């Protein structure tokens, strides 16, 4: 969970993550699965140089030594990509789910994300905001930007995704083992997607709920990040 100036939502999103019942009932014909699977959770929070009081909340939690929580501090703000890379380095579990520290995404969708991986159907699952799940209306500019970047991804990488820019990316840890990730800001989304696809993995999508926020509510991504994302998709089509 990358965290930057999310004092207003941090405690609630962590509470929601902890409250999810991670009992997964895989379906399918996998003979190695004989019943429900209880998934253990590890919450890795990376504070990316917050200045609004977020760090103080995290420091208090760190002092309390919660066994299900790792907290790492960046001295200065490096961007979402930098925070995620730090989180990946500290992850010890077999499966990673990316979770933003706001309340746009609902942790109750974790089970949907985990099921296809635990069933052995795919090592990578994205939660799509455009497959019919309940969601608040996204602004026109963000809807168009998301769809354009997803179309470019599909053309460049020969796939058929509906939501490349989704936060909810879930994958086995071995998928990114040794993967050279370099993005520091929001371009981590297309970089991850490009490198996952170039390594021959199929991305499975499931519908999720979405409650988008506006800029006055703290949303940080802008149209400039969309241009950088487009350049990133082009760049990693030809280099690694």
**157-186 mean pLDDT:** 95
User: In angstroms, rounded to a whole number, what is the distance separating the alpha carbons of residues 158 and 238?
Assistant: 14
For residue 232, what pLDDT is reported? Answer: 94
β-pair type (124-128, 203-207): parallel
Bridge partners for 203 per DSSP: 124
pLDDT of residue 29: 63
pLDDT score of 97 more than 90: yes
Orientation of helix 140-157 relative to helix 188-198, angle to 10°: 20
Reported pTM: 0.91
Does 91 have pLDDT greater than 70? yes
**Residue 113 clears pLDDT 70, i.e. is over it:** yes
172-191 pLDDT tens trace: 999 999 999 999 999 999 99
Count of CB atoms within 10 A of residue 235's CB? 15
Check residue 9 and give its pLDDT. Answer: 96
Q: How confident is the model at residue 31 (pLDDT cuts 50, 70, 90)?
A: low
Q: What are phi and psi of 44, to 5 degrees?
A: -110, 115
| pLDDT of res. 220 | 62
Average pLDDT, the chain: 91
Q: Is the pLDDT of residue 168 over 90?
A: yes
Could you say which of 3.90.1150.10, 3.40.50.10140, 2.40.50.100, 3.90.550.10 is the CATH number of the domain covering 2-238?
3.90.550.10
Rounded (5°) CA angle 24-27-29: 135
Contacts of 108 (CB under 8 A, 6+ apart): 16, 20, 209
Most confident of 33-42, 81-90, 139-148, 218-227: 81-90
What does the domain layout of the chain look like in residue ranges?
Answer: 2-238
Confidence band, pLDDT 50/70/90 cuts, at residue 32? low
Share of the chain above pLDDT 70, in %: 92
Q: What confidence tier does 215 reach under pLDDT thresholds 50, 70, 90? A: low
pLDDT digits (tens, 9 = 90+) for 18-27: 999 998 887 7
| Interatomic CA distance for residues 65 and 56, integer angstroms | 15
Residue 30: pLDDT above 60?
A: yes
Is the pLDDT confidence value at 125 over 90? yes
């Amino acid at each position: 969970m990358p965290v930057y100036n999310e004092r207003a939502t941090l405690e609630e999103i962590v509470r929601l993550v902890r409250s999810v019942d991670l009992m997964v009932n895989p379906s399918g014909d996998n003979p190695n699965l004989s019943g429900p699977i209880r998934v253990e959770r590890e919450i890795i929070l990376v504070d990316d140089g917050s200045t609004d009081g977020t760090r103080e909340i995290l420091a208090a939690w760190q002092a309390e030594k919660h066994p299900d929580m790792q907290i790492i501090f960046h001295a200065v703000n490096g961007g979402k990509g930098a925070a995620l890379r730090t989180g990946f380095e500290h992850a010890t579990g077999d499966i990673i789910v990316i979770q933003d520290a706001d309340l746009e995404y609902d942790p109750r969708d974790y089970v949907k994300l985990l099921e296809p991986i635990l069933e052995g159907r795919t090592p990578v699952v994205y939660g799509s905001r455009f497959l019919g799940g309940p969601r608040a209306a996204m602004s026109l500019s963000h809807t168009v930007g998301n769809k354009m970047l997803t179309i470019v991804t599909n053309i460049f990488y020969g796939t058929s995704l509906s939501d490349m820019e989704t936060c909810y990316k879930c994958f086995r840890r071995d998928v990114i083992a040794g993967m050279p990730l370099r993005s520091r800001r929001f371009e981590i989304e297309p970089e991850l997607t490009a490198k996952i696809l170039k390594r021959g993995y199929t991305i499975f999508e499931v519908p999720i709920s979405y409650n988008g926020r506006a800029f006055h509510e703290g949303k940080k991504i802008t149209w400039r990040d969309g241009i950088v994302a487009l350049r990133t998709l082009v760049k990693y089509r030809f280099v690694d």
